[in-house]
Amino acid sequence: QNPALGPIIAGIHYLSNFICGLILKAFSSSQPFAAQKYHIMLEALRAFATSSHLRTKNFGQLLGETVRNATLTLLSVGGFITFFSVIVGIFQEAGIFNLLLNLFSPLMALFNIDAVLLQGIFIGFFEITIGIQMLSQSSSNLLAQILGIEALLAWNGLAIQAQIAGMLTDSDLRTRKYYLARLLQIPISMLITLLVFLLPLEDIFAVPTAAGTAISPLAWGGAVALLSIILFLGFGLGHTLLKIARKKIIIIR
């Protein structure tokens, strides 16, 4: 809940995204680049004018369609957030999160991880807003909280992933690389976080590091491994839920 941490968290997230892009580019199939006759912006405007209904519909019709599509998109986004928030509430009432905490209790005791921190990660797996809010309320040290936040931001949460899958349903784009990038960004962002915290943050950002408590590298390594294992184990469940969500969207449409 320290505003000074905002630029640090955002910078780590954007940097890890950029690194993921470079890695995916390195392993993607290379295609020859053809020089364009016109500027890229002019080409984009030309393609838009050709593929749209500018020639067959007036401005009022296009404005009405734009407003309707924007409204449907907002309702879809809100619906996904509400859906997964309800799932989180059901899991909490059913005691599923408490069961998971009991299963991971030996590791929690070994690495001295707060139960609120781990529960926030479980919740953030579905909806990152609620999960990150719970992480910020944890009594864990600052580094553990930021590691969890960066992992959840890299994962995006099933609510955001379902939104993206729904929007890509009618396109020829595949979400496989997107999921791969999410899994790839988790360890990258956490590694960058660890490297950043090796710097003298008190002098650079004027942010208290780990509340003045010295934590052994083994504990940090265990925290990184535990957070990665949790999110990787949940990928199977998330992939299944996303398939179900996409089928429901196709049926509704």
pLDDT tens, 114-161?
888 989 999 999 999 999 999 988 888 888 889 999 999 999 899 998
pLDDT tens, 198-207?
765 545 444 4
Please report the pLDDT score of residue 11 as a whole number: 86
Distance between CA 39 and CA 61 in Å, rounded? 30
Q: Please name the residue ranges forming H helices in 104-252.
A: 105-111, 115-126, 128-136, 142-155, 157-167, 176-197, 201-204, 217-252
Unique residue bearing structure tokens 């969207």 = 249
What global pTM score does this model have?
0.69
Q: DSSP secondary-structure letter at 28?
A: S
Residue with more model confidence, 160 or 36? 160
* pLDDT tops 60 at residue 72: yes
94-111: average pLDDT:
87
SS3 211: helix
- Joined tokens for residue 81: 């957030």
Neighbouring residues of 186: CB distance < 8 A, sequence distance ≥ 6: 151, 154, 155, 227, 228, 231
Unique residue bearing structure tokens 């942010």 = 207
* pLDDT tops 60 at residue 170: yes
Q: Are 219 and 142 in contact (CB under 8 A)?
A: no
Q: In percent, how much of the chain has pLDDT > 70?
A: 69
Q: Model confidence at 234, in pLDDT bands (50, 70, 90)?
A: low
Please report the pLDDT score of residue 230 as a whole number: 57
Integer distance in angstroms from the first to the last C-alpha of the chain? 41
Distance between CA 94 and CA 96 in Å, rounded? 6
